[in-house]
Structure 1
Amino acid sequence: MARFEAVYKETYGRITAYAARRCDSPQDAADAVADTFTVAWRRVDELPEGEQAMLWLYGVARKVLANRRRTGRYRQERNAELDAEVADLYGRRPDSGVELDAIARAFRDLPGDDRELLSLVAWEGLDREEIATVLGLTRNAVRVRLHRARKRFARALAEADVSHSTTRRLVPAERSR
């Protein structure tokens, strides 16, 4: 029980932020977080030590959210704050909502796996090795998939006539620990 409590206290904020960025409402995010920690409680013997526990919980949360989508209790929409973060990653801030809307549409129109990879980098601040752990892939598979996701996003932005700096790339956000 003490082990679970320690992991819960250490990871709750990041798991909550992860879910909040992927849910339509705070209530949906709270439900997803509760489900995630319920799984962790039931499988506490499988819970890895140290930083690996956070990555394991990201993987659990990802599956919880996928189950919620499949059952129709979850609708994926980006809110203006998250759209602005994506816009900031690609250079200048749009002068009007038109460009911001185009960026949001381009992001939403990406395949779900691409959105998840880009989100794990930009919003969760994970590196390739950590993403590999979360997704159950090899580091090299993550590298290739991330490269392709970035290319598809850049192509979608170009097709939407959204200007972005070619010198800035989708890179991990600063980690707040």
Structure 2
Amino acid sequence: MGPPEPEQRFEEIYMAHYPAVATYVRRRASSPDDIADVISETFTTAWRRLSDVPKGDEARLWLYGVARRVLANHFRAEERRAALALRLRDEITTWETSVTGDGLAHQAFRRLSDDDRELLSLVAWEGLSGPEIAKVLGCSRGAARLRLHRARKRLAKELADLDPDLTGYGRRVVSLAKGDS
């Protein structure tokens, strides 16, 4: 009788050592998702490197070593993700303050519906043209032009409501929306 087939050998290793590896990982990771990921990656490595897995109880020690490295990689990745999230949060806060500020224009913009804000953002922030906006929205050019015109009118109204001195500005925004110069 020759050596066991790879599937059979892996199953034997898995059945014999899963409880010990799972306990090892549970003691070192807190999230059930993280625990499942690390155990899965440990046994995936065992499958890929089946010929490197020692025989007998030495396999358990080898699996502990793999689990230890997988945990270390997992924790490093978590630290990188957390640092990236903090950096992005700081950048977004800085960007949002510099782009939108806390002035009347920002207040008026925030008072608009999500759809109006999106339309105006596509023009002002993304620099899209009417035909490009139509593609993004999945509508005709005429519908996009009409929606944009109405959004600009609503922005002008919100600006005028916040500061009557901006009433002239509101008329200017509407005339620009119509294509007047």
Q: TM-score, normalised by structure 1?
A: 0.41
Q: Between Structure 1 and Structure 2, whose CA radius of gyration is higher?
A: 2
More helix by share: 2
Higher relative contact order (CA 8 A, sep 6+): 1
Q: TM-score, normalised by structure 2?
A: 0.40
